Amino acid sequence: MKDNRRSFLKKLGLSTGVAALAPSIMAEANSIHKEYISREDSFVADQPIRLALIGAGIMGTEDTNTALRHANVSLVAVCDLYDGRLQSAKQKWGDHLFLTKDHKEILKRSDVDAVIIGTPDSWHKQISIDALNAGKHVYCEKPMVHSVKEGQEVIDAWRKSGKVMVVGSQGISSLGNEKAKELLAAGVIGDIVYAEGFWARMSPEGAWQYNVPADGNEKTVDWKRYISNTTQRDWDPLRFFRWRNYLDYGTGMSGDLFVHLFTSLHFITNSKGPSKIASLGGLRYWKDGREVPDVLLGSFDYPETPEHRGFNLSLRCNFVDGTSGTTYLRIVGTKGSMDVKWEEVVVKLNSNAESDDPFMKEQAKLRAASGEEERAKILPPRETSYTAERSWKGAHYDHFGKWFKAIRTGGSVEEDPIFGFRAAAPALLCNDSYFQDKFIKWDPVNMKLI
């Protein structure tokens, strides 16, 4: 991976011989205790974008509120299967909205340029394909699909459509992810050998025990439409309002949370994904009828590729955590590690790590051969923190900004369906490993099971 690093440094205008001395990212990581990070990025709003929301639950509402913070963006229609959410949409966003329980009615409208899909995972594939075929740009919440067999269908529809589709793992647009990618490419922590991620929650809401409204019943919910693409069942309010707990509609802890960590890791390392997947876990606390574990451990083997050395990944998710909510992604290299959050990166260096600067290595050899005693050094700080400036509007805001910019300019986004599927697949296969009690082999380049 040294060739990649040299190439990166050349782009910065640095030679490997002077990298340690120049005012660069390398010096920044080795001599500054704290640094603020920012990005020069403007989202020009020279063209109106008219949105429709399909799935007006918790995440769909958050997405829409964030999207509407951008200039020249408006909401014209909302689709949801529950009357209460449709009425709430009017109260929040205006009486002008077209409201429906049939997403195809949204897609027929000529005043809709793009859609936000915030439905349960079981509907992501079909609504994405329908929207692309109808000529709409798509923002689909993660994971992009409900199972790996659905991935190629979405990719094919996107390629054929010529529209901009982005998947909603917003961390990829964070300053923290971007800084970590920069630092890893510059060789600040050496070559990656291991990574780990952790996500913890304890509250009932955090563990998906969402509110079940008093008026939620078969008269106010289109239950038949909801289950039309899966197992036929009698009305069950928990399966509608707490859908993440059930395999027919959700993808468990891995599809909800591991996928964020995969997205960040793959963006930072340029990886296409792991080749071997295994998981363990169990239902330890939230025994409320759910079908998915509340403690999940995943292990993943990343082979050596042109983009990175081989490394291993360990992911953990715990909904029985008495220490309150916690999340992080740690990337460990041969010289140190990085703790990566959306708004911060903390670099911890091993001060005894050998320099890979050719000039410094040769000087060390000559000194050792002469018997000369090595002079004491001024060592760099062991820990450096990079924190987003307070003026930053957040990853969620920037993720929408990049999508809108691509729509207006005919450009592209980083988390397109190919990237989104490569992040979703190992998360979904982690579930398969757990429920099938076996290792899963995956071809991350061709995106196929082995």
Average pLDDT over residues 408-427: 98
Task: Assign domain 49-171 to its CATH superfamily.
Answer: NAD(P)-binding Rossmann-like Domain (3.40.50.720)
Do 425 and 273 meet the contact criterion of CB atoms below 8 Å apart?
A: yes
DSSP labels, 27-84? HHHHH-SEEEE---------S-EEEEEE--SHHHHHHHHHHTTSTTEEEEEEE-SBHH
Strands (E), 164-214: 165-168, 192-200
347 DSSP β-pair partners: 338, 384
Write out the H or E segment, with its range, that includes residue 300.
Answer: strand 295-302
The model's pTM: 0.88
Distance of CA 179 to the CA centre of its chain: 15
What's the CA gap between 268 and 277, in Å, rounded?
A: 20
Residue 95, both tokens: 């009486």
Is the distance from CB of 181 to CB of 340 less than 8 angstroms? no
Could you give the CA distance from residue 344 to residue 35 in angstroms, rounded to a whole number? 10
pLDDT band for position 31 (50/70/90)?
very low
Show the tokens assigned to 295: 């403690």
- Could you give the CA distance from residue 419 to residue 426 in angstroms, rounded to a whole number? 12
Say if residue 128's pLDDT is above 70: yes
The confidence band for 290, taking pLDDT boundaries of 50, 70 and 90, is very high
Beta bridge partners of 337: 332, 348
d(CA 87, CA 91): 7
Question: What CA–CA distance (Å, rounded) separates 250 from 142?
Answer: 11
Q: Report the alpha-carbon distance of residue 33 to residue 210 in Å, rounded.
A: 42
446-to-77, 155, 416 alpha-carbon distances in Å: 37, 12, 16
Res. 229: pLDDT tops 60: yes
9 has a pLDDT exceeding 90: no
Q: Return the DSSP state at 244.
A: G
The rounded distance, in Å, linking the Cα atoms of 121 and 132 is 17
The domain ranges of the chain are 49-171, 173-226+237-392+416-449
Give pLDDT tens digits for 342-373: 999 999 998 655 556 676 677 667 766 776 66
Q: What is the mean pLDDT of residues 304-322?
A: 95
pLDDT score recorded for residue 376 = 65
- Res. 202 pLDDT band, cuts 50 70 90: confident
CA 258-262-265 angle, to 5 degrees, is 135
Out of 41-55, 68-82, 93-107, 168-182, pick the least confident: 41-55
What per-residue confidence (pLDDT) applies to 364?
Answer: 67
Q: Which is higher by pLDDT, 370 or 112?
A: 112
Query: Alpha-carbon Rg of the chain, whole angstroms?
Result: 24
Query: How confident is the prediction for the chain on average, in pLDDT?
Result: 90
Q: What CATH number is given for 173-226+237-392+416-449 in this structure?
A: 3.30.360.10
Of 83-87, 202-206, 419-423, the poorest mean pLDDT is in 202-206
pLDDT of residue 449: 97
Q: What pLDDT is attached to residue 22?
A: 33
Nearest Cα to 340, choosing from 269, 426, 438, 234? 269
pLDDT band at 40 (very low <50, low <70, confident <90, very high): confident
| Three-state secondary structure readout of 301-347 | EECCCCCCCCEEEEEEEECCCCCCCEEEEEEEECCEEEEECCCEEEE
pLDDT digits (tens, 9 = 90+) for 382-410: 899 999 999 999 999 999 999 999 999 99
Cα(50)–Cα(222) distance, integer angstroms: 26
Counting residues of the chain whose pLDDT is more than 90, the rounded percentage is 80
pLDDT at position 357: 66
Contact status, residue 94 vs residue 29, Cβ threshold 8 Å:
no
- Token pair, residue 88, equals 């709430």
Cβ burial 176-203 (10 Å sphere, 16+ → b, else e): bbbbbbbbbbbbbbbbbeebbbbbbbbe
Residue 2, pLDDT above cutoff 70: no
Sheet holding 137-141, edge to edge: 98-100, 73-79, 49-54, 114-117, 137-141, 165-168
For residue 82, what pLDDT is reported?
98
Q: Which run of H or E residues covers position 441?
A: strand 440-443
pLDDT at residue 24 in the model: 40
Stretch 80-92: mean pLDDT, rounded?
Answer: 98
- pLDDT at residue 23 in the model: 35
* Predicted pLDDT of residue 343: 95
